[in-house]
Amino acid sequence: MIEIDHVSKSYNKGAVRAVDDLTLTVPSGEIFGFLGPNGAGKTTTIKMIVGILKPDGGTIRIAGLDNRADALCCKAMTAYVPDEPEIYERLKGIEYLNFIGDVYGVSGGDRQKRIEHWLEAFELSRAVADPIQTYSHGMRQKIILTAALMVKPKVFVLDEPMVGLDPRSSHLLKEAMREHCDGGGTLFFSTHIMEVAERLCDRIGIIHRGRLAAYGTMAELRDQAKDKASLENIFLELTES
Amino acid sequence: MRPTAALVKAALNSNFGWSVVRHRLFVQKRDRWMLPLIALAVVGVVPTMVLYFRLLGAAFDMLKSLGQEQALLTLAVLAGQLIILVFGLFYLISTFYFSRDLEYLVALPLKPSQIMLSKFAVVLINEYLTMAPIILPALIVYGFKKHRGPGYWIIMPLTYLLLPVIPLAAAGLVVVGMMRLVNIGKKKDLLIIIGSLVLIAAALFLQFGLSRAAGTSDMDAQKIIAMIGSPDGLVQSIGRRFPPAIWATRLLYDGLLTVSGFTGFVLFAGLSILLFGGLMAGAQRLFFGGLVGLSERSGSPGRRAKAGAMIKVSSGRHPVRAIFLREVRLMNRTPIFLLNGVLGVLMVPVILALTLSSGKPGDDSAVILRLMTSAKPITGVLVTTMFMIVCATLSGVASSSFSREGRKFWVSKVIPVDYRQQVLAKFLHSMAIALLGITSAAAVLVFRFHLGTGQWLSSLALALPITAFLTSLNLAVDLARPLLDWISPQKAMKQNLNVLIAMLLDLGFLFLYGVAFIALGKSGLSLAAALGILAGLGLGLASLAYVLILQFALRRYPSIEA
């Protein structure tokens, strides 16, 4: 599970508060959708969860462990997919997967089985021996997803994972996300696609100007809103300036 | 603003990061700690510059006594243009073809020549800055010592501005042609590296040929007297293989208001314009042809592996080995990193050996080294040890180790590998390349300078721990402030301030090490005892620096925001 406790982060020496006293919990077995307008603080929150950014204050716990004090244990339990597929372009796809397998300590047998399965599913088998610099945006996204799925972590943290994916891959990913959480894993992801969040998420958080504007199941969010027609309406109502 | 002007302005801003620097210093109020450090580095260079000015003053006096003082101008112009020709090649290839903004620029409604012009402007400004500490002092010393009037001080900056155009445009034409040619093959990166090496070899050959032409060793006494007898005899002798140097000298020496000076100006400016125009015309025809294929996919689906083919997974390497392998692959497969890093350390000793060699048996530097060693063995060991260390450490591999990761640094932040292990892998990789430099230096010392086994082994034993110490120091410099937001790999290595800071620190340390070396030599201790103390000192420093860099990694890594 992920516990975010009074976490804040600001830039420009406090001039811009990207995340302001954020508190939320994502229990095991749950898909959590994180929504918000551009610049609301979604990516900053996600980067703090995976340890790329250091919070100014507050704590983040993964499976009960502080992600700064027990950083290595937390990282070993977490797989992260960024919003921009910036990876080592000069490595071949398979070399990147092996690198991630090596550093996460995935055994040879598991690695072989999982890589073959996900490469086949994402139709990357033919390209995996080519350098990543020859991949399209979507292919890069898929190789990062394959690496994350190969690790089979307890916690998935995905930043806008559907961007750049073709409908088939997007569908497969959603199935994998559900399966992961049904097996007791935790999934935290950000998205701008309201339909995906509405259909897939067990709970949703809407962040606006660094603060949590709404948090709960779809039913709870509907109760909080005046216009209950759809998540999009709720989102627009909550994020109007 | 017109598109070309807007593009050039954006390219310069992007390259030099003025907006970013302003934002960091005045809005984010970060990096202000760098200002005193930069000031310190500038102050540190002052003694060297004073020495250089004095040296130039002495050279002027000597040339004046022969009535050949204008040869100082020819030498300055020639040196500047050769520096640009050799070092500009890497830079041109990198800026013209490997900048990440190119894929956005080609999609804009701009002509190839406009894009090329913006890239050329970036290289040109950089070359002005690179040449300034070497060439401007010579032009200034000449102006003051010769008591030149205001005309000279107006023409001098004009000449300086024109100076890099001829070699850069000429090199640019060759690079554009080469890139168009190599882009037809499948192994583009390999061809780029081979092509670059051929160009560098050609430039070195030219430099070697010019330096031999400038020498007087192949002249008999009568020719020397005739040369000195003519007021511009030495100028003609130095510049005869490269006439633009003579034209620039005439312009500076005679001024614009004389026939000779004006002719020099017309020829110098005319050739600059002609070559620049040629480059723009060449760019219009060839630039996109060389560019497009660099980012295109290397293979059609038919070329890709068959579906279901055996996928080769590794059997589980140790994380340090995995990161070491990643470092090796990323360095060796990025042409700019490979050329500057690996090939740089291999070639620098050879270039130095060529530069020191006049080809004449009487004034052979090998003889000088042998004489020095037999007169005072410790001085000989000092020279060869320093040579090995310089060849191993000044490549910028360690001091750009973190910067080279660029925007992919997030991977290093999220993987479950102890930061100390990550730094260990980088240390081992930097040391592996440093060892290549030491090996190349040792080979040059043995085969070119005929160094005895005892001396090169002693030097190796002393150089290894000091190289390890400096590698840790250089890693620490880059870890303190990695440059992660770059668009051209050149920026991560050659234009990285960390590389310069590390180099100044290394040179400062080597100066102190040299002082300690000489002090021990004078102390009356036996050679073996003195070398033993120095080896012990090196080992102590290397161990201490290694422990400190690991501790620094634990503290610094978490606060690097990728």
User: Judged by CB atoms within 8 Å, which residues 54-113 of A form the interface with B?
Assistant: 54, 68, 71-73, 75-76, 78, 80, 82, 84, 86-88, 90-91, 94-95, 97-108, 111-112
- What is the C-alpha separation between B98 and B291, in angstroms, rounded? 9
Residue A15 pLDDT class (50, 70, 90 cuts): confident
Q: Which of the two residues, A6 and B77, has the higher pLDDT score?
A: A6
End-to-end CA distance of chain A: 32
Domain that holds residue B481: 319-559
Q: Is residue B56 part of a domain?
A: yes
Query: Which of the residues in chain B have pLDDT under 50?
Result: 216-217, 296-302, 308, 361-363
3 state SS for B509-522:
HHHHHHHHHHHHHH
Q: C-alpha distances in angstroms, B365 versus B215, B450, B541?
A: 15, 11, 32
pLDDT at B362: 47
- What is the C-alpha separation between B202 and B182, in angstroms, rounded? 18
The C-alpha angle with vertex B108 and arms to B106 and B112, in degrees rounded to 5, equals: 50
Cβ-contact A46, A34 below 8 angstroms: yes
B130, B133, B135, B140: CA torsion to nearest 10 = 150
Number of domains chain B contains: 2
Domains and CATH numbers, chain A: 2-82+155-239 (3.40.50.300)
Tokens of B246: 């003579």
- What is the C-alpha separation between B194 and B181, in angstroms, rounded? 12
Do B478 and B547 lie in one domain? The reply is yes
As to burial, measured by CB atoms within 10 angstroms (0-12 exposed, 13-18 middle, 19+ buried), residue B410 is buried
Q: Which residues contact B263 (CB under 8 A, 6 or more apart)?
A: B247, B250
pLDDT at A179: 93
pLDDT at A122: 93
Q: Which of A54, A108, A135 sits opposite B313 (nearest CB)?
A: A108
Mean pLDDT over A158-180 rounds to 92
pLDDT at B367: 65
Q: C-alpha distances in angstroms, B299 versus A134, B106, B180, B311?
A: 8, 22, 19, 18
Contact B298 A134 (CB under 8 A): yes
Rama region for B438: left / alpha / beta (φ>0; ψ in -120 to 50; rest) = alpha
What DSSP string runs through B22-85? HIIIIIS--STTHHHHHHHHHHHHHHHHHHHHHHHHHHHHHHHHTT-TTHHHHHHHHHHHHHHH
Q: Is residue B1 part of a domain?
A: no
- What is the C-alpha separation between B246 and B273, in angstroms, rounded? 17
Tokens of A154: 């307890």
If residue B150 lies in a helix (H) or strand (E), which one and from where to where?
helix B150-162
- What is the C-alpha separation between B257 and B255, in angstroms, rounded? 6
Q: Which residues from A are below 8 Å from B315, CB to CB?
A: 108
Handedness of CA A213, A218, A219, A222 (dihedral sign): positive
Q: Which residues from A are below 8 Å from B321, CB to CB?
A: 102
- Tokens 């040109």 locate to B124
Cβ-contact A154, A78 below 8 angstroms: yes
Percentage of residues of chain A with pLDDT beyond 90: 72
Do B248 and B393 lie in one domain? The reply is no
Mean pLDDT over A17-43 rounds to 93
Hey, how many other C-beta atoms are within 10 angstroms of the C-beta on B559?
8
- What is the C-alpha separation between B181 and B229, in angstroms, rounded? 49
Do B159 and B97 lie in one domain? The reply is yes
Do B324 and B192 lie in one domain? The reply is no
- What is the C-alpha separation between B253 and B74, in angstroms, rounded? 10
3 state SS for B325-379:
HHHHHHHHHCHHHHHHCHHHHHHHHHHHHHHHCCCCCCCCHHHHHHHHHHHCHHH
Q: What share of chain A is helix, strand, coil (3-state, %, to 5)?
A: 40, 25, 35
End-to-end CA distance of chain B: 35
Q: Which residues from A are below 8 Å from B316, CB to CB?
A: 101-102, 105-108, 111
Q: C-alpha distances in angstroms, B111 versus B106, B107, B118, B277, B549?
A: 8, 10, 11, 15, 49
Do B335 and B281 lie in one domain? The reply is no
In this predicted structure, which of A20-24, A165-169, B237-241, B270-274 has the lowest mean pLDDT? B237-241
* B302 in reach of chain A (CB within 8 A): no
Structure confidence by residue, pLDDT tens digits, A50-96: 999 999 999 999 999 999 999 999 999 999 999 999 999 989 999 99
Do B381 and B505 lie in one domain? The reply is yes
What DSSP string runs through B89-145? HHHHHHHHHS-TTHHHHTTSS--HHHHHHHHHHHHHHHHHHHHHHHHHHHHHHHHHH
Do B279 and B327 lie in one domain? The reply is no
Which residue from B307, B314, B299 is spatially nearest to A120, judged by alpha carbons? B307
Contact B416 A75 (CB under 8 A): yes
Structure confidence by residue, pLDDT tens digits, B445-482: 888 777 888 888 889 999 999 999 999 999 999 999 89
pLDDT at A26: 95
Percentage of residues of chain B with pLDDT beyond 90: 25
pLDDT at B271: 92
Q: Is residue B16 part of a domain?
A: no
Cβ-contact A135, A143 below 8 angstroms: yes
Q: Is residue B103 part of a domain?
A: yes
Q: Is residue B337 part of a domain?
A: yes
Do B280 and B367 lie in one domain? The reply is no
- What is the C-alpha separation between B286 and A118, in angstroms, rounded? 42
Cβ-contact B467, B392 below 8 angstroms: yes
pLDDT at B340: 83
Q: C-alpha distances in angstroms, B467 versus A19, B422, B436?
A: 45, 20, 12
Q: Is residue B309 part of a domain?
A: no
Q: Which residues from B are below 8 Å from A82, CB to CB?
A: 410
- What is the C-alpha separation between B558 and B561, in angstroms, rounded? 8
Do B183 and B104 lie in one domain? The reply is yes
Which residue from B320, B447, B354, B342 is spatially nearest to B391, judged by alpha carbons? B342
Contact B416 A72 (CB under 8 A): yes
Q: Which of the two residues, B22 and A142, has the higher pLDDT score?
A: A142
Which residue from A9, A27, A5 is spatially nearest to A17, judged by alpha carbons? A9
pLDDT at B78: 81
Buried-state track B308-346, b at ≥16 Cβ within 10 A, e below 16: eeebebbebbebbebbbbbbbbbbebbbbbbbbbbbbbb
- What is the C-alpha separation between B329 and B16, in angstroms, rounded? 29
Residue B434: HSE in the Cβ half-sphere, 13 Å Cα cutoff: 31
Q: Is residue B15 part of a domain?
A: no
Cβ-contact B444, B365 below 8 angstroms: no
Last residue of a domain, one of B263, B295, B327: B295
- Tokens 């291999």 locate to B346
User: Judged by CB atoms within 8 Å, which residues 329-348 of B form the interface with A?
Assistant: 329-330, 333-334
- Tokens 């190789």 locate to A143
Mutate to test the interface with B, among A48, A75, A88 (most CBs of B within 10 A): A88
Q: Which residue of A has its CA nearest to B555?
A: A68
Do B543 and B459 lie in one domain? The reply is yes
Mean pLDDT over A205-232 rounds to 83
pLDDT at A14: 77
Last residue of a domain, one of B260, B279, B295: B295
- What is the C-alpha separation between A151 and A107, in angstroms, rounded? 10
- What is the C-alpha separation between B138 and B79, in angstroms, rounded? 11
Residue type, B42: V
Which residue from A93, A95, A98 is spatially nearest to A141, judged by alpha carbons? A93
Cβ-contact A148, A157 below 8 angstroms: no
As to burial, measured by CB atoms within 10 angstroms (0-12 exposed, 13-18 middle, 19+ buried), residue B221 is exposed
* A52 in reach of chain B (CB within 8 A): yes
Q: C-alpha distances in angstroms, B393 versus B330, B425, B479, B506, B541?
A: 19, 17, 17, 8, 15
Tokens of A126: 């033919």
The edge-to-edge listing of strands for the beta sheet with A16-26 is: A16-26, A2-11, A57-62, A65-66
Cβ-contact B373, B385 below 8 angstroms: no
The C-alpha angle with vertex B532 and arms to B526 and B536, in degrees rounded to 5, equals: 150
Last residue of a domain, one of B295, B327, B357: B295
| Average pLDDT across chain A, whole number | 91
Q: Which residue of A has its CA nearest to B26?
A: A12
Do B417 and B505 lie in one domain? The reply is yes
Q: Is residue B300 part of a domain?
A: no
* B47 in reach of chain A (CB within 8 A): no
Do B266 and B374 lie in one domain? The reply is no
